[in-house]
Amino acid sequence: MTFAGINYLAIPIATIAGFAFGAAYYMSLSKPWLAAIGKTKEQIVAEGGGTPVPFIVSIVALAVMAWVLAGGIAHLGPGQVTLRNGIISALFMWLGFVVTTMAVNNAFGQRKASLTIIDGIHWLGVLVIQGAIVGALGV
């Protein structure tokens, strides 16, 4: 099913793929990430770490991200929704909007640079995966 060059089947696939990447990424970097936020695993659990709310927010945000990324890729024009253009668009959106916003927020929040690096690489991976899926399934 397509509309304006977007294959809407690509959106849930890109959402799930982005979530799966994030799960694997943060499971492998849990200790450095905890150090970057200045907390222990026990503190996270004690502060309500078992709640499903962050996971629900993540899924919804990833779906919106995939949809907006797909819209941006579709605006390249007819015949331009490709794997290559999906990845390139994702890289530009990450550089122009995601990592820049994170860097500013983390700088003003006086958070460690390692948090920006860890989270920034995560979002780069998510966007590249989503862009590749949207581009490959395009039309």
Q: What is the mean pLDDT of residues 121-136?
A: 98
Residue 5, pLDDT above cutoff 80: no
What is 66-97 written as a DSSP string? HHHHHHHHHTT-TT---HHHHHHHHHHHIIII
- Which of 2-6, 49-53, 73-77, 114-118 has the largest mean confidence? 114-118
Query: 3-class SS at 8?
Result: coil
Residue 139 confidence (pLDDT): 64
Query: How many C-beta atoms surround the C-beta of residue 77 within 10 A?
Result: 9
Query: 3-class SS at 31?
Result: helix
Residue 77 confidence (pLDDT): 87
pLDDT in tens, 52-99: 999 999 999 999 999 999 999 999 988 899 999 999 999 999 999 999
pLDDT band at 3 (very low <50, low <70, confident <90, very high): low
Residue 2, pLDDT above cutoff 60: no
Q: Cβ distance 68 to 116 under 8 Å?
A: no
| List of E strands, the chain | 2-3, 6-7
* C-alpha radius of gyration, the chain, whole number: 16
pLDDT in tens, 22-31: 999 999 999 9
Residue 4 confidence (pLDDT): 61
How many domains are there within the chain?
1
Residue 31 confidence (pLDDT): 96
pLDDT in tens, 18-51: 999 999 999 999 999 999 999 999 998 888 777 8
Residue 49 confidence (pLDDT): 74
How many residues are there in the chain? 139
Domain that includes residue 62, residue range: 2-137
